[in-house]
Chains A and B, each alone.
Chain A
Amino acid sequence: MLGVAQRLLKRRALAEEAVQDAFVLIFRHAGRFDPERGGGLTWIYAILRNRSLSILRDEKRTETSDTPIAEETASEEDDPETVMAKLSDASALRACLEMLSPQRRGLVLLAFVQGLTHGEIAGRLKLPLGTVKSWIRRSLLSLKECLG
Chain B
Amino acid sequence: MSPSRDDHLGPPERDALAGEYVLGLLDGADFAAAERRLDTDRDFAASVERWRQHFFAIDATVTPLAPPVDLWSRIEAGLAGLIQPAVASSAATSRATMASSTRFADWWNSLFVWRGAAFAGALAAVLLAVGLFGALDRAKRQPLMVAVLLTEGNAAAAVVNTFADGRVEMLPLQSIDVPAGKALEIWTLWDRAVGPRSVGLIDRARSTPLRLDNLPLGNGQLFEITLEPATGSPTGRPTGPIIAKGTTSQRL
**A residues within 8 Å of B by Cβ?**
2-4, 6-7, 15-16, 19-21, 23-24, 26-28, 30-31, 33, 35, 37-42, 45-46, 49, 53, 57, 77, 83, 86-88, 91-94, 108-109, 111-113, 115-119, 121, 136-137, 140-141, 143-144, 147
Interface presence of B65 (CB below 8 A)? yes
Q: Is the CB of B78 within 8 A of A6?
A: no
Interface presence of B56 (CB below 8 A)? yes
Q: Is the CB of B20 within 8 A of A136?
A: yes
Give Cα distance in the complex from A42 to B115, angstroms: 19
Cβ–Cβ < 8 Å partners of B74 in chain A? 16, 20
Q: Beyond A42-B53, A45-B52, is A27–B23 a contact (Cβ under 8 Å)?
A: no
Q: Is the CB of B58 within 8 A of A112?
A: yes
Residues of B126-172 whose CB lies within 8 A of A: 126
Return the contact of B52 from the options A4, A23, A30, A42 (Cβ within 8 A): A42
Give Cα distance in the complex from A123 to B123, angstroms: 42
- CB closest residue in chain A, given B35: A50
B15-34 contact mask (Cβ, 8 Å, vs A): 1 or 0 = 11001101111110000000
What number of A-B contacts does a CB cutoff of 8 Å give?
A: 144
Return the contact of A3 from the options B12, B63, B126 (Cβ within 8 A): B63
Q: Is the CB of B15 within 8 A of A144?
A: yes
Q: Number of B residues whose C-beta is below 8 Å from A?
A: 48
Q: Is the CB of A20 within 8 A of B75?
A: yes
**B residues within 8 Å of A by Cβ?**
12, 15-16, 19-20, 22-27, 45-46, 49-50, 52-68, 71, 74-75, 78-79, 81-82, 112, 115-116, 118-119, 122-123, 125-126
A105 CB to nearest chain B CB (Å): 12
Q: Is the CB of A91 within 8 A of B57?
A: yes
A97 CB to nearest chain B CB (Å): 9
Q: Is the CB of A118 within 8 A of B49?
A: no
Q: Is the CB of A87 within 8 A of B58?
A: yes
A139 CB to nearest chain B CB (Å): 9
Q: Is the CB of A113 within 8 A of B25?
A: no
Q: Is the CB of B23 within 8 A of A24?
A: no
Q: Is the CB of A117 within 8 A of B59?
A: no
Cβ–Cβ < 8 Å partners of A113 in chain B? 58
Q: Is the CB of B57 within 8 A of A38?
A: no
Give Cα distance in the complex from A147 to B50, angstroms: 10
The secondary-structure label for the interface of chain A is helix
Q: Beyond A27-B112, A41-B56, A87-B61, is A115–B24 a contact (Cβ under 8 Å)?
A: yes
Q: Is the CB of A40 within 8 A of B16?
A: no
Q: Is the CB of A40 within 8 A of B26?
A: no
Q: Is the CB of A35 within 8 A of B122?
A: yes
Give Cα distance in the complex from A115 to B24, angstroms: 6
Q: Is the CB of A140 within 8 A of B19?
A: yes
- CB closest residue in chain A, given B55: A112
Q: Beyond A23-B79, A30-B116, is A4–B59 a contact (Cβ under 8 Å)?
A: yes
- CB closest residue in chain B, given A17: B74
Q: Is the CB of B67 within 8 A of A4?
A: no
Return the contact of B24 from the options A41, A49, A86, A140 (Cβ within 8 A): A49
A135 CB to nearest chain B CB (Å): 12
Q: In this complex, which of B23, B46, B57 has the most chain A Cβ atoms within 10 angstroms of its Cβ? A: B23
List, sorted by A's number, 19 A–B pairs whose CB atoms are closer than 8 Å.
A2-B71, A3-B65, A19-B75, A20-B71, A33-B119, A33-B122, A37-B46, A41-B126, A42-B52, A87-B61, A92-B54, A93-B58, A108-B23, A109-B58, A115-B24, A116-B24, A143-B54, A144-B16, A144-B19
Cβ–Cβ < 8 Å partners of B20 in chain A? 136-137, 140
Given A20-B74, A53-B24, 16 additional A-B pairs, CB 8 A: A19-B71, A23-B78, A24-B82, A28-B112, A37-B45, A38-B52, A39-B53, A40-B122, A42-B56, A45-B59, A49-B24, A94-B57, A116-B24, A117-B25, A136-B25, A137-B20
